[in-house]
Amino acid sequence: MTLEELKALVRTVPDFPAPGILFRDLTTLISDGEGFAETVRALSERAEAADSELIAGIEARGFIFGAAVAARLRLPFLPVRKPGKLPVPTIGIDYALEYGRDRLEIDPDRVRDGQRATIVDDLIATGGTALAAAELLRLAGAAVSHALFVIDLPDLFGAERLRGAGITVEALMDFHGH
């Protein structure tokens, strides 16, 4: 499948979750076996080219794509979780949202010093969550230089923010408007 064919599998839902928002729904891509497999293959190629040693997926849809990429490449998968979800001692980072704050946590024992970690998530919008994940992974000792996404919403400048933090950003497709 071409990237344009994959892009056609993404459903756009207008006015969700609020009026004026064009929600990019990946469930239609994930539910297409061939499309999902091709998406994972394309992300895996990029992770392999980045010489990744660890795949870090951001909760929740980053788990779907990240775990599949890690399995395909036979690499460890590290879930970047919302607070209180891991049953072991964690390290965490608080970060700003548009209307408040949130927190991400990881098990630091799953990261080796200098380990090349690649972040995988479904979508990059403003980049706040991905930047927080990169900072958290770096705090644990990982070397984070790449982030992979299925979708980029370039009008929200998240990819630019990550690049400003020294992270190479790749997305399989982009959608203008948000």
Domain locations in the chain as residue ranges: 52-173
136 touches 92 (CB < 8 A): yes
Looking at residue 39, the DSSP 8-state letter turns out to be H
**52-173 domain in CATH 3.40.50.2020?**
yes
Phi and psi at residue 98, to the nearest 5°: -60, -40
Share of the chain above pLDDT 90, in %: 94
Query: Peptide bond before 50: cis, by omega within 30 degrees of 0?
Result: no
Kindly report, residue by residue over 74-123, the tens digit of the pLDDT.
Answer: 999 999 999 999 999 999 999 987 678 999 999 999 999 999 999 999 99
Give 17-32 pLDDT, tens digit per residue: 999 999 999 999 999 9
At position 16, the amino acid (one-letter code) is F
